Structure 1
Amino acid sequence: MKALQITGMGEYGIVDIPVPAIMDDQVLVKLTLVSTCPRWDIAMLGGKDMFDHSRPPAYPLPPGFPGHEAVGVVEAIGASVQGLKPGDRVAALEHLFPGQGAYAQYLAYRERDLLKLPDSVSDKKAVSSELLKCVVFGLDQFEEVKGRSMLVAGLGPAGILAIQVASLWGARVIGIDVSAERVAAVNALGIGEAVLTDSLGDRTFDLGYDCVGAAASVQNVLDRTNEHVVIFGVLRGELTYRDRFWFNGIKLESFKGRPVTERYRRLLLDALTRPDFNTECLQTKQISFANYAEGVETLKQQQAVKICFNPQEAF
């Protein structure tokens, strides 16, 4: 089978590798659509480790890496797999690590890391289910969002999902971004209210959800939040926890990963099966892996939200 492999800063190629062998608790999936995760792609092709920009990644990256948002069809199952069968459509919620990435034609998964999809949910709607899972995890760190006001900072892929999930759960949400184009795009989609960051005046909110990670963005959210802030983005830089935050008992915490329980599966499917829950808007364009570098540059210039590929055709 074929896979994309990043071999150095700005360097990549198409390689032939064996179809993954599966263990008893694993499932072989024929991937039908995969999506970029912009910060991963920009960092890894750009010579920076995702979590430590002071050093480069360990090149060459494993074949298919850093692809991890994917949807496909079950090709084969291990002896102990009970909930899936060949022909089932599935979305990835996690991936084997260390191991191969999803920019490939086939990938092995543990059964628990896949979400079985109903026919009503298209590949394009489901391909970023792994990101949706993470956004749900972060929002679930708030004790209660129903009836609360929430500020969501950053209208990239995570922010676009966050304002929709929080609204679905009953929060009163405002999304902010420094980009007028992103603000206009969210308002045009009709998925929530968005404004420019510097237009909030002195408004404050019960809850704050930062999807940027840059210290200036997190600080702005923290300064405008009265109860609880969750940092979904990877924090870069230092924050000031002001005296009034301590006196008012304002809670600040980072994103916390956890296992996908049946409750989380229900929450994901509840969102994905709603006709008005828009995840397809994330996939701005579909291209070939031959144009991967150009696609990553498009993401870097914020001319696309995400880019997707059909691994059965894109090589």
Structure 2
Amino acid sequence: MSNTMRASYLLKQGEVAVKEISIPELAADEVLVKVAAVGVCGSDVHYYQHGKIGPYIVEQPLILGHELSGTITAVGSAVDASRVGQRVAVEPQRPCRDCEQCNAGRYNLCPNIEFYATPPIDGAFAEFVKIQSDFAFEIPDHVSFEAAALVEPLSVCIWAARRAEITTGSRVLIAGAGPIGVIMAQVASAFGASEVIITDIAEDRRDFALKHGATRAMDPRTENVEGLAVNAFVDASGVAQAVYSGIKAVGPAGHVLLVGLGTEDMNLPVSHIQNNEIWVTGVFRYANTWPTGIELVASGKVNLDVLVTHKFGLDDVESALNAGKQPGSMKVIVNPGS
């Protein structure tokens, strides 16, 4: 096996190039994964277009991509060699496992966490990556590599559903029928929601959501969601007006989960929140979600393959980062080995 590999780098804002680099060396508790599929996330596109997200600034060449799957090809000295050859979905982060947040089980809030494709940590638009062994989760043979890669955005939705206390009989409103919104609709249904309402200004996306998890779709330009008295509202749009109206749609003791990336400051209906004791919180990644995500996909309760609309090779990462602009685009996949 060669000791080098190819990787696609974001050199600077708007500029991508493939480089030949060394294959990562493994620590004792790590495995080497030959990358099969990587989903393109909105954060990847944002880094490509703007060179930064909030306080995270691309100051040196960076490998993007954090939604991934592949096959274990080598293991560190402390890892069972029988793992070689396993097909895996990768949880793309490395918490310190020793801070207050990690010890409380909230390792997604670890202040020292290293997360793929978040400067300065490289991501997965590469032929190989390394990860701690317990963050590489074996997948059944009938689960595609594309679906396994998308367990990452699925995990965001599982985390949101848990925090929103979605359960049997819940009525749920979701703003935004993009990939996260559609996956959220499927997760809400899998968690037992009796009604899953989704809003989007695009008719084709509303129609798609109705086929894949939503029980009702609304056009926010012509239909008012306020007063629906749902148990939970999940924003997957980042649009300030959608957040405001969504909160007004929540009934007493309900939950509001902010998932979408929008403006840093928004006006909120504070009196509605106070008078109805509504819980309003954000979602920052996830913790302990991969086993549940893999089970949902393997059992058919969540269909991630249906989201994939475009596939590109490693030499075409720039095209992959721009594919979201194409009509009908939902989820874009990079296959580094193709």
Fold similarity call, TM over 0.5: yes
Q: Residues 218, 302 of structure 1: CA spacing in aligned structure 2 closer, same or farther, 3 A cutoff?
A: farther
Could you say which residue in structure 2 is the equivalent of 1:42? Answer: 45
Partner AA of 1:77 in structure 2: V
Compute the displacement of 1:44 (Å).
1.1
Measured against aligned partners, the alpha-carbon deviations of 1:177-229 in whole angstroms (never above 9, x if no partner) come to 12112112223x34323332235435511210111223222112111111211
Q: Does 1:160 align with 2:182?
A: yes
Q: Percent identity?
A: 24
Q: Is the 8 A contact 2:151 2:294 kept in 1?
A: no
Secondary structure of the 2:23 match is coil
* Range that drifts further, 83-92 or 172-181: 83-92
Q: Does 1:292 align with 2:296?
A: no
Could you say which residue in structure 1 is the equivalent of 2:255? Answer: 228
Q: Does 1:132 align with 2:154?
A: yes
Could you say which residue in structure 2 is the equivalent of 1:173? Answer: 196
Structure 1's consecutive aligned runs of 4 or more residues displaced over 6 angstroms after TM superposition are none
Q: Over aligned residues, Cα RMSD in angstroms? A: 2.1
Measured against aligned partners, the alpha-carbon deviations of 1:50-105 in whole angstroms (never above 9, x if no partner) come to 235xxx9324332x22x011110001111222496100000112235353210000
Could you say which residue in structure 2 is the equivalent of 1:245? Answer: 273
Matches of 1:125 and 1:160 in 2, distance apart? 14
Partner AA of 1:185 in structure 2: F
Q: Residues 86, 299 of structure 1: CA spacing in aligned structure 2 closer, same or farther, 3 A cutoff?
A: same
TM-score (norm 2): 0.83
Structure 1 gaps of 5+ residues are none
Q: Is the 8 A contact 2:227 2:248 kept in 1?
A: no
Secondary structure of the 1:17 match is strand
TM-score (norm 1): 0.89
Compute the displacement of 1:115 (Å).
1.5
Q: Is the 8 A contact 1:51 1:234 kept in 2?
A: no
Matches of 1:276 and 1:247 in 2, distance apart? 36
* Range that drifts further, 226-235 or 43-52: 43-52
- Number of aligned positions between the proteins: 303
Partner AA of 1:178 in structure 2: I
Q: 1:24 aligns with which of 12, 23, 28?
A: 28
Q: Is the 8 A contact 1:211 1:233 kept in 2?
A: yes
Q: Is the 8 A contact 2:182 2:212 kept in 1?
A: no
Q: Residues 302, 225 of structure 1: CA spacing in aligned structure 2 closer, same or farther, 3 A cutoff?
A: farther
Q: Does 1:182 align with 2:166?
A: no
Could you say which residue in structure 1 is the equivalent of 2:241? Answer: 216
Measured against aligned partners, the alpha-carbon deviations of 1:85-140 in whole angstroms (never above 9, x if no partner) come to 10000011223535321000000001222221011211122111111112111110
Matches of 1:2 and 1:41 in 2, distance apart? 19
Secondary structure of the 2:57 match is coil
Measured against aligned partners, the alpha-carbon deviations of 1:292-314 in whole angstroms (never above 9, x if no partner) come to 3333222145641121122112x
Measured against aligned partners, the alpha-carbon deviations of 1:5-39 in whole angstroms (never above 9, x if no partner) come to 111222111100000001011110011111111x2
Q: Residues 282, 59 of structure 1: CA spacing in aligned structure 2 closer, same or farther, 3 A cutoff?
A: farther
Q: Is the 8 A contact 2:47 2:58 kept in 1?
A: no
Secondary structure of the 2:83 match is coil
Q: Is the 8 A contact 2:159 2:287 kept in 1?
A: no
Matches of 1:232 and 1:146 in 2, distance apart? 22
Partner AA of 1:60 in structure 2: Q
Secondary structure of the 1:228 match is strand
